[in-house]
Chains A and B, each alone.
Chain A
Amino acid sequence: MPEPLFDYEACLLACARGEQQALRQLYEQDCARLLGVAKRIARDTALAEDIVHEAFINIWNGAGGFDPRRGSARGWVYSVTRHLALNVMRKKGREVALSDEHEQTLAAEPSTEHFEYRARSGKVYQCLEHLEPARRSCILHAYVDGLSHSEIAQKLGTPLGTVKAWIKRSLAALRECMA
């Protein structure tokens, strides 16, 4: 990861001790990136700010419970934000209450649209390159755009069952490749 200079672990420890300046430093370090992650999923800047707001509250309150043996501090900060955004979007999706079948009929027009991205350095990018473009798009639309199975099916014009199977097999392939 490209931020070796910022000590996330020390920052979370300082937050746990109640040092407000540490949270401020984390905000200055990562707020724009976290907001970017939240906005891609929430698709709305104001909603993304609500999510990042809640994320910082959770980071402050949860810093004491963070265990560095279980994962990287930076990863935890991003996970907290991403999962808040995903919770919001999945909850929204349930309220819209579109059935899988209904969405399948919506996805009548096959689309060749793939996730546009430039591969970067890192194991996960190398392993993504081994996936077929359509399958890679499923993974990226899910992780980066926060799309559900049915939204991806609709977007790619691919049957829902196929999308579900692709994602399941792609995850297994990634895990094997990255092992």
Chain B
Amino acid sequence: MTPEELNDLAGEYVLGTLAAEQRLHVQQRLEHDAPLRAAVEAWEQRLLPLTELAEPVAPSPYLWRRIERSLGHHAVGDTPPVPWWNLLALWRGLAGAGLLASLVLASLLLTRPAAINPTAYVVVLTAPQSQAPGWVIQASNDQQIQLIPLGVMQIPADKALEFWTKGDDWQGPVSLGLVKPGQSLSIPLDKLPPLAPNQLFEMTLEGPNGSPTGKPTGPIQAIGRAVKVI
């Protein structure tokens, strides 16, 4: 075969116009025929830019998996879905959230002890003669008190119970309003000085509309003093 014939054969092989038998023959010769191989490689380089004329085609998502499977490779770059319990980000997030929550709670614990302590003051109102407890007052802060009946006090039908309080240094008792026997009440103290230790609370028996004078006039039914809860 002349160099000219060799070049023609190589050119037609690379161009793709050889028939099946001739192609196979050239491919077998390429294994050991260095001059033919050189001629073919020269043609490959010459014509390679023409591959640009073919529009790219997006591969299906399965093609890479197929290649990997055929090669016996395990997911490279294309990792299988990670089960939720093995998601590092999930556990990092939860650990971060937990740490944050514990810091917030710890700071609340240190800066707002009053909010944690449900009761700052307690008053037990007892009957003056029998000392029988009739009501309990709870205050979790010094602006609001809870009046809790321990039983249903018996009072005459034409009378009413009036609730009073007086601080140690006050001029006189201040009315907190009428209270029905057995009634549970939440009473704001925002108009009064803050609740203080030893502050007096009492119930007096008054007319159906309360004391006409604005000061206790009837007999004391229950009385007690505020005690600060440690």
Q: Which residues of A contact B (CB under 8 A)?
A: 1-2, 20-21, 23-24, 27, 31-33, 35-37, 39-41, 45, 48-49, 52-53, 56-57, 60, 70-72, 74-76, 78-79, 82-83, 86-87, 90-91, 93-94, 117, 120, 122-125, 139-140, 142-144, 146-149, 152, 167-168, 171-172, 174-175, 178
Contact = CB atoms under 8 A, between A and B. Distances in A.
- Per DSSP, are chain A's interface residues mostly helix, strand or loop, or mixed? helix
A44 B129 CA distance: 108
Given A60-B71, A171-B15, A117 B53 contact: yes
Contacts of A74: 48
25 contacts: A1-B48, A21-B76, A23-B71, A24-B64, A32-B59, A35-B57, A37-B54, A56-B67, A60-B71, A70-B41, A71-B41, A71-B44, A75-B44, A75-B45, A83-B27, A87-B20, A90-B18, A91-B20, A93-B19, A117-B53, A142-B16, A144-B53, A147-B16, A167-B15, A172-B11
B16 A82 contact: yes
Interface string B51-84: 1111111111001101110110100111000000
B16 A52 contact: no
B7 interface: yes
Contacts of B156: none
Interface residues of B, number: 45
Contact of B73 (A20, A82, A144): A20
A174 B64 CA distance: 37
A68 to B, nearest CB: 12
Which 10 A/B pairs are nearest by Cβ-Cβ distance? A32-B56, A171-B11, A90-B20, A20-B76, A36-B54, A40-B54, A36-B56, A35-B57, A71-B41, A122-B49
Contacts, number: 151
Nearest to B53: A144
A120 B17 CA distance: 24
A148 B23 contact: no
- Per DSSP, are chain B's interface residues mostly helix, strand or loop, or mixed? helix
A53 B23 CA distance: 21
Contacts of B12: 167-168, 171
Given A20-B76, A90-B16, A167-B15, 9 more contacts: A24-B78, A32-B56, A32-B57, A32-B58, A71-B45, A76-B44, A124-B49, A149-B17, A167-B17
Contacts of A23: 67, 71, 73, 76
